[in-house]
């Protein structure tokens, strides 16, 4: 098996910003409640008519430029999302076409907010086995289009964005050192868009009842999140043969500052090693980790050889963790 790592990152968020003050005019809420319960101050929202593929494309061209890889070199394009352009075709096909990735296979993968880590695990297998050389993985969401803007308990939480990473072979012993993935479909109804699929196909009634929007049992998801974030991080570290003391940077899923703080405390990792941007973006689901990772790279917070721990939870229910030994050098020749 070859060692596989990230050799380029890129991210994109739409320019329109929705602040807590804006939300105060839309639903019965206030900045103080949102800030203390979630840590979120603002989120970016895609304009009407702007689909997910546009965000994916923007993040992808930045990641390809960062990796100095041309679209023609891509063997596979993957999009991780719960807010695709269409039920089908896959958004990854649309993005690959726009990029001009003519040789690439393309598919979408859905694992809620854990999507990016599921995608990194899946995409890297193709390279580890020698089947492919270059894989583009994109975690992206336009959750603003799935939110019930009259439901104050959910509409304050989510934002739109996309983060991309180029995967290639890296020096032996670098790159992804472990993946820890899990799922519990028994908790699926805690976080769900119930309408529009084959269980409840779209009808005038499903639309009137807002079944095409996000339904969430917030406090149940919260308890699950705090438990699973800590457990998954510990398992991912153990699989990599490392301990919490070895972690240079923790990139957790950005759902809620209280979930991040509680998980970090349980793990016993110093808060100055934790990337937090939930205040500026809200919960971008599958885009959350790759956007935070890209910002950390561009801020000079990740160096060659650093141990980066990523951990997420999400709809499914799903969870995922990964330990990455940072290596910028891609496949030569
Ligand atoms: N503004 C003001 N009051 C509000 C708001 C709001 N926006 N939303 C809810 N409230 C009220 C509730 O109605 C309730 O009032 P009541 O006591 O009179 O009934 C009160 O505030 C407390 O509500 P709770 O839901 O108990 O508040 P809690 O402290 O649990 O915080 C929150 C809610 C922020 C949603 C929290 O439960 C949470 O973060 N859960 C995890 C959610 C999450 O991470 N989801 C994403 C999963 S990942 C994915 O795949 C998309």
**Pairwise CA distance, residues 159 & 154, whole Å:** 11
37 and 152 Cβ atoms separated by less than 8 Å = no
Atom of ligand 1 nearest to the CA of 152: 7
328 vs 211, higher pLDDT? 211
Q: Judge contact between 229 and 311, C-beta under 8 A.
A: yes
- Protein residue with its CA nearest to atom 13 in ligand 1: 153
- CA torsion, points 72, 139, 79, 297, in degrees to nearest 10? 20
Instruction: State which ligand 1 atom lies nearest to the alpha carbon of 315.
Output: 50
**Band of residue 332 on the pLDDT scale cut at 50, 70, 90:** very low
Residue 330 has pLDDT above 80, yes or no: no
Per-residue CA distances from 131 to 101, 135, 168, 316 (Å): 17, 11, 12, 29
pLDDT number for residue 328: 73
Q: Is the pTM of this model over 0.85?
A: yes
- pLDDT tens figures, 221-279: 999 999 999 999 999 999 999 999 999 999 999 999 999 999 999 999 999 999 999 99
Q: What is the pLDDT of residue 329?
A: 57
Which whole number is the average pLDDT over 311-315?
A: 97
Of 285, 284, 286, 260, nearest to 274 by C-alpha is 260
Ligand 1: atom nearest CA of 221 is: 41
Q: Measure 218 CA to ligand 1 centroid, in angstroms.
A: 5
**147 — alpha (psi -120 to 50), left (phi > 0) or beta?**
beta
HSE, CB side, 13 Å, CA atoms: give it for residue 270.
7
pLDDT at 331: 47
Protein residue whose Cα sits closest to atom 42 of ligand 1:
218
38 versus 330: the higher-pLDDT residue is: 38
Q: Which of 253, 256, 277, 303 is catalytic?
A: 253
Say yes or no to pLDDT of 206 above 80: yes
Tokens linked to 193: 């868009």
How far does residue 255's CA lie from ligand 1's centre (Å)?
A: 12
Q: What is the pLDDT of residues 109-129, one digit of tens each?
A: 999 999 999 999 999 999 999
Ligand 1, residues at Cβ distance < 6 Å: 29, 33-34, 37-38, 112-113, 152-153, 156, 191, 216, 218-219, 221-222, 225, 255-256, 283, 285, 314-315
Residue 136 confidence (pLDDT): 98
Tell me the average pLDDT across 50-77.
Answer: 98
Identify the pLDDT of residue 95.
Answer: 98
Give the C-alpha separation, 291 to 305, whole Å. 20
């Amino acid at each position: 098996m070859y060692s596989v790592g990230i050799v380029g990152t890129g991210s994109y968020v739409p320019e329109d910003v929705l602040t807590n003050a804006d939300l105060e005019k839309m639903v019965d809420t206030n900045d103080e409640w949102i800030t203390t319960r979630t840590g979120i101050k603002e989120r970016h929202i895609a304009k009407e008519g702007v689909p997910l593929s546009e965000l994916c494309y923007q993040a992808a061209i930045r990641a390809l430029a960062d990796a100095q890889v041309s679209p023609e070199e891509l063997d596979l394009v993957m999009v991780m999302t719960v807010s695709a352009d269409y039920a089908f075709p896959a958004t990854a096909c649309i993005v690959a076409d726009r990029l001009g990735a003519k040789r690439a296979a393309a598919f979408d993968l859905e694992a809620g907010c854990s999507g990016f880590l599921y995608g990194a695990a899946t995409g890297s297998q193709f390279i580890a086995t020698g089947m492919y050389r270059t894989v583009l993985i994109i975690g992206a969401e336009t959750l603003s289009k799935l939110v019930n803007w009259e439901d104050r308990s959910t509409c304050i939480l989510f934002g739109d964005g996309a983060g991309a990473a180029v995967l290639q072979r890296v020096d032996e012993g670098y790159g992804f050192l472990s993946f820890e993935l899990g799922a519990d479909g028994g908790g699926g109804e805690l976080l769900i868009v119930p309408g529009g699929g084959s269980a409840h196909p779209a009808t005038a009634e499903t639309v009137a009842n807002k079944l095409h929007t996000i339904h969430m049992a917030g406090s149940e998801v919260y308890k699950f999140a705090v438990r699973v974030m800590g457990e998954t991080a510990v398992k991912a570290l153990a699989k990599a043969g490392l301990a919490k003391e070895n972690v240079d940077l923790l990139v957790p899923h950005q759902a809620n500052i209280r979930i991040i703080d509680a998980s970090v405390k349980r793990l016993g990792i110093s808060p100055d090693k934790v990337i937090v941007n939930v205040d500026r973006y809200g919960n971008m689901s599958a885009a959350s980790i790759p956007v935070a990772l890209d910002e950390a790279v561009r801020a000079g917070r990740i160096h060659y050889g650093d141990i980066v721990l990523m951990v997420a939870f999400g709809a499914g229910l799903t969870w995922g963790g990964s330990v990455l030994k940072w290596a910028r050098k891609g496949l030569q020749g």
